[in-house]
Structure 1
Amino acid sequence: MKSYQFKVNEYLIGGSTAIREKVDVIKLLIGTIKYISSVTLDDLHSRLENDITVIIYVNKMSRIFYCQNEKMHTVQFPFSILEEDKKLKVYYDKYELDSKITTILADIFNHQIEFNESLESMAEVYYNTMKEYEAESGIYNELCWEILLYLLSFEPGYLRYDYDLERQDPIVHPLNHLDVYYSGKNTFKIGLDKKINKDDLIDILDINTNCKFLK
């Protein structure tokens, strides 16, 4: 089992933990990878004043957790991660997601287009971005396209824990609950009878620990 935990502000990872659609997940992942790959492990663990706890937990499951105030968001971490030269490095297959790759991908996904509805728009944005970075051919062109398609097709497995005093309702919106999925047409809540912390949430999702039961 590998587990890395650190704290960070939202602006450092270039995205909000408010997840409404798949592209929000992708932008948050790319921003996090871009940030953690740019600093040493010592620098990563020295930012204790910041307000989001990020945990990358890799066992039989592979997930990243964003814990802030009374909310915890988690999605699949769809890459491998290694500790090398006192830094964390993230890999897709055998290729490191270096600063150039993450910068290109971040620029592509920051365009306001419907990635799942318009292949033509996506291809045009991709081509223009690769041209801007002078990477229209060669390994970067092929690799970034492959990673882009991979990110658009992977299953995020989104789950959010919420402690919501403002909108609580004992039946419809329990004070402590899990929100499963992010899409308004798919999401549903599972009420909890008590408050949980990040270790509890990891334990619920970890298939190597005892199963939890709905009552």
Structure 2
Amino acid sequence: MKPLSLCMNGCKGAAVKRFSFDLDAYQAQRLFSPIRDKRGSISLWMNSMKIMSVNAPSPRDVVATLSLVVSKMSRLFLCSETKVFSLNFPFHVYDQNGFIGFKSRNCGDIDSRVTSEILSLVDSFQVLEKSDVYGFSEPIMDSCEVCPDSWVLLRDLMLCEDGYLRYDNDLARANGHLHPRHHVDFFYTGSSTLKVGSAAQFEVEDLVNLCDVNTECLYFVPSKNIGT
């Protein structure tokens, strides 16, 4: 498991814990897959926890970074050259003898076996896409025979809020105020998503501050009040 290495920053009296991990191309490909539904969120949470809990050296060829920021919020931030996105992290993070430990609201320690079972259920068996109750329940019942916490954890993840937002530096599709080059997308489904333009590039710290209620707010400015 990964030794605890905390970056503590003062935010109006609140301590911020930050865990950062370098990603190689293979890890980044797994984590940067587009999120379109709850299955994508769950897959990202499980794969992120696997990376954070493995005591592995930093890769030689770093193409992206993964950060877990814990204060009043608890969120994952993933950053590449042109994209920064963030997701709620619905787990309790604690020091487990100098290593990172995770718990959910109703599940005990979350280890590699549990995360592998959840990945198998949502990715291999695709239980969240099943149209009948038996296709949904049978793989879960089989999983619980070898890992009793599978259903408890999956239920927690199905019910929790995703809190997804993504910054894009999208020069190729830029189209004035309809699709600004620099913009932040909130939510991931077509019926709920909304886009907010930015006059300049967002850094990962800007997104961290946007999500942290302990820092000063960013302000939206209507497009009619800014230049093209």
Query: What displacement does 1:174 show?
Result: 0.1
Structure-1 separation of matches of 2:48 and 2:198: 29
Structure-2 separation of matches of 1:13 and 1:121: 31
Total equivalences in the alignment: 203
Name the counterpart of 2:82.
Answer: 70
Structure-1 separation of matches of 2:135 and 2:25: 28
Q: How do residues 46-57 of structure 1 correspond to structure 2 at under 5 angstroms?
A: 46-47=58-59, 49-57=61-69
Cα 1:16–1:36 change in 2 (3 A) is closer
Q: Which runs of 5+ in 1 are unaligned?
A: none
SS, match of residue 151 in structure 2: helix
Q: Considering only aligned residues, what root-mean-square deviation do their CA atoms show, in Å? A: 2.1
State whether residues 76 and 158 of structure 1, in contact with CA within 8 Å, keep that contact through their aligned partners in structure 2.
Answer: yes
Tell me the alpha carbon deviations over residues 72-106 of structure 1, each in whole angstroms, 9 at most, x when there is no partner: 11010000112333422212247211111111111
> One-letter code of the match for 1:108?
L
Return the match for 1:182 from 173, 176, 188. 188
State whether residues 28 and 64 of structure 2, in contact with CA within 8 Å, keep that contact through their aligned partners in structure 1.
Answer: no
Structure-2 separation of matches of 1:15 and 1:119: 29
State whether residues 164 and 176 of structure 1, in contact with CA within 8 Å, keep that contact through their aligned partners in structure 2.
Answer: yes
Q: How do residues 1-215 of structure 1 correspond to structure 2 at under 5 angstroms?
A: 1-9=16-24, 11-12=26-27, 15-17=30-32, 18-39=34-55, 43=56, 46-47=58-59, 49-93=61-105, 95-110=108-123, 111-115=125-129, 118-131=132-145, 135=146, 140-141=147-148, 143-215=149-221
Structure-2 separation of matches of 1:209 and 1:76: 17
Query: What displacement does 1:117 show?
Result: 5.3
State whether residues 14 and 28 of structure 1, in contact with CA within 8 Å, keep that contact through their aligned partners in structure 2.
Answer: no
Q: Which has the larger displacement, 86-95 or 194-203?
A: 86-95
Tell me the alpha carbon deviations over residues 8-59 of structure 1, each in whole angstroms, 9 at most, x when there is no partner: 23634783421111110110110111222122xxx35x33522121110011
